[in-house]
Structure 1
Amino acid sequence: MEFTKQFLRAKSPCANGFRWFVRHVEDGVGYQQALDQLVAAGRVDDALWLLGQFGPSNAVLHLDSLEAESLVFAGTVQVRGGIEVDGVIHVGRSLHSGGGIRAGRAIVAGEDIRAGAHIHSDGRLHCGGHLRTDWGVQVQESLHCGGDLRAAWDVVCHGALSVGASAFVGQDLLVHGGIDCGKSLRVGGHVSGEGSLRAGQGIVVGGAISGLTHLEAGWGIKAGECIHTQGAIKAGESLSAGEDIRAGEGYGIFAGLNVQEPAWEVCAQVWAQQPPAGLRSGVWMGPCAI
């Protein structure tokens, strides 16, 4: 794809950005070259606008390592080592790193993100496809994953967390905003948050679930330790905790919301050390044996 002034004008760019383009970019320049020139001039937001207008490409950039102020690439970036970016790393397709990925402002990929070590963003992280890391993830703002999220260690998110498919976290999941998971959520350690947690399918947690506002799953919910929320607890099927289950004051606990009442003894079991106060539906079965 080659750019001309007339071609760009048809996209109705801002006046300031268009003037800069006219003065500094020659007609007929390639798509990626135009992005590179904008980033090199410190006009990262203009480069992001251009990428948003013309979309991803099939280009692939292979590097041994990456250290830069910012990078806006229309295709896929594959780095054998680590990635260190002071500002934004934004790729139109996938981002693969044999080491860690660190960015000071944002990490954005239109498709998958794969890292061999820790992923850290001082801003947001947006992954249009699957996100997988052999270590953990830490994000200062929001984290969006359009596909599956898999992290071997902790996931710490200071904003909202949204996952389009399933999420697996090997250790703890700490989220200061809301958590929305399209399918199942499995966490090896504890889940702690300040917002609500909703999963379209089941939730399995090895440790405790605590600090959340509301907790809701389309299937069952199971925690190896306690389940404590500040609001309501809603499970489409069974509900199980190794310790106690406690909702917020004035809120109820509901199991079997997605099954018929005659099937509650099989599909809406509630397992806890003692009968939960505020149990509105489901059948308490006693302490959890497993």
Structure 2
Amino acid sequence: MLITKEWLQQKGACGGGTRWFNDHFPEGGEYQTVLDALASENRAGYAQWLIQHAGRTNDVLEIQGDFKGSSLFFRGHIRITGHLSVEFHLLAGWGIEAGSGIKAGEGIKAGSGIKAGEGIKAGWGIEAGEGIKAGEGIKAGSGIKAGEGIKAGWGIEAGEGIKAGWGIEAGSGIKAGWGIEAGWGIEAGSGIKAGEGIKAGSGIKAGEGIKAGWGIEAGEGIKAGEGIKAGSGIEAGEGIKAGWGIKAGWGIEAGEGIEAGSGIKAGWGIEAGEDFGIYAGLSLRISQKAAYALVIAKELPKNILLGIFKQLL
């Protein structure tokens, strides 16, 4: 496909992009050749615009071994047998797949999926139209976003938010400076921590603790090997279960039972599902129950089957 000045004008290209193109391709330029020139100058914004308007192709860029460069922009699929590393931006019209790791000093963006045999790391954000999968960890300086699922053999960490259309799963921890949101479930081998809220269409499960600066919400159950703590409310369509304590700045509400190894505390009310119980202090010794097996709320909850109620003044 030949890109021309007239084509850019027809598509409504900005003045800066049109001037850059005229300086570099006064007679017009082949689609991928233009992307290569943009990559040589690390102009990711112009490259994203071009792929969006010229369209993704089924071409495949196959690289044997490792690749290391400044930026890499391709209109179709990128497949590499080794490690893929760029100093600035990595951009593909369709998917990116590497036999080992993928690393970008700034952003990584793919029209479909991103898959690495080892880790995926970006100084800025990571974004995929479909899923993101890494044999090791996934780490981004800003956000991580996938149209489908996000899965890592090790941990997932983002300086900003983590969002998936499907589920989020990590072999170790999940950590976000902002919120964590999944259309399906969220599961971590160790802890889950978010500076803002945590929300899942189905369940939330952590081998260690779950902590959110704002609320925690699950369409199904919430389960943590250690404690559960939210700056605002905790809400689950099914049960809530913590190996340690449960604490919410606002209310705690579950469609089924609420169970804590230690105490349960809410700034507002605590409510379990109809015909389900509230259990505090399940992991405590008998001698510790008077001090730690407390259910603290503004009003007495129904169905306290284990624990001592203490009214919050």
* Match of residue 14 from structure 1: none
What is the TM-score with the length of structure 1 in the denominator? 0.79
User: Paired residue for 2:85, among 55, 61, 78?
Assistant: 61
Gaps of 5+ in 1: 1-28, 34-38, 52-56
Determine the C-alpha separation between the residues in 1 that align with 2:131 and 2:284: 42
How far 1:41 moved relative to its partner?
8.9
Determine the C-alpha separation between the residues in 2 that align with 1:73 and 1:32: 9
User: Paired residue for 2:111, among 51, 74, 86?
Assistant: 86
Determine the C-alpha separation between the residues in 2 that align with 1:30 and 1:104: 25
Determine the C-alpha separation between the residues in 2 that align with 1:130 and 1:260: 34
- Is the partner of 2:276 in helix, strand or coil? coil
User: Paired residue for 1:101, among 126, 130, 134?
Assistant: 126
Contact between 2:175 and 2:192, CA under 8 Å: does it hold in 1? yes
1:260 aligns with 2:285: yes
User: Paired residue for 2:209, among 157, 163, 184?
Assistant: 184
- Is the partner of 1:93 in helix, strand or coil? coil
* Match of residue 24 from structure 2: none
Determine the C-alpha separation between the residues in 1 that align with 2:250 and 2:115: 40
Determine the C-alpha separation between the residues in 2 that align with 1:60 and 1:122: 22
Equivalent residue letter for 1:82: G
- Is the partner of 2:274 in helix, strand or coil? coil
User: Paired residue for 1:205, among 230, 238, 246?
Assistant: 230
User: Paired residue for 2:160, among 135, 139, 142?
Assistant: 135
How far 1:226 moved relative to its partner?
0.4
Determine the C-alpha separation between the residues in 1 that align with 2:148 and 2:76: 22
- Is the partner of 2:193 in helix, strand or coil? strand
CA RMSD of aligned residues (A): 2.3
- Is the partner of 2:309 in helix, strand or coil? strand
Gaps of 5+ in 2: 1-62, 68-73
1:282 aligns with 2:307: yes
Give 1:23-42 correspondences, 5 Å limit. 30=64
User: Between Structure 1 and Structure 2, whose CA radius of gyration is higher?
Assistant: 2
Runs of 4+ in 1 over 6 A off after TM superposition: 39-42
Contact between 1:176 and 1:194, CA under 8 Å: does it hold in 2? yes
Q: What are the superposed Cα offsets for residues 117-139 of structure 1, whole Å, 9 maximum, x if unpaired? A: 22110011001112111110110
Determine the C-alpha separation between the residues in 2 that align with 1:67 and 1:197: 36
Q: What are the superposed Cα offsets for residues 18-65 of structure 1, whole Å, 9 maximum, x if unpaired? A: xxxxxxxxxxx95679xxxxx9997x9xx89xx8xxxxx6x4523421
Q: What are the superposed Cα offsets for residues 236-284 of structure 1, whole Å, 9 maximum, x if unpaired? A: 1111111110001111000011113342111211111112110000111
Contact between 1:268 and 1:282, CA under 8 Å: does it hold in 2? yes
Determine the C-alpha separation between the residues in 2 that align with 1:128 and 1:223: 30
Aligned length: 244
- Is the partner of 1:266 in helix, strand or coil? helix
User: Paired residue for 2:186, among 145, 151, 161?
Assistant: 161
Q: What are the superposed Cα offsets for residues 1-25 of structure 1, whole Å, 9 maximum, x if unpaired? A: xxxxxxxxxxxxxxxxxxxxxxxxx
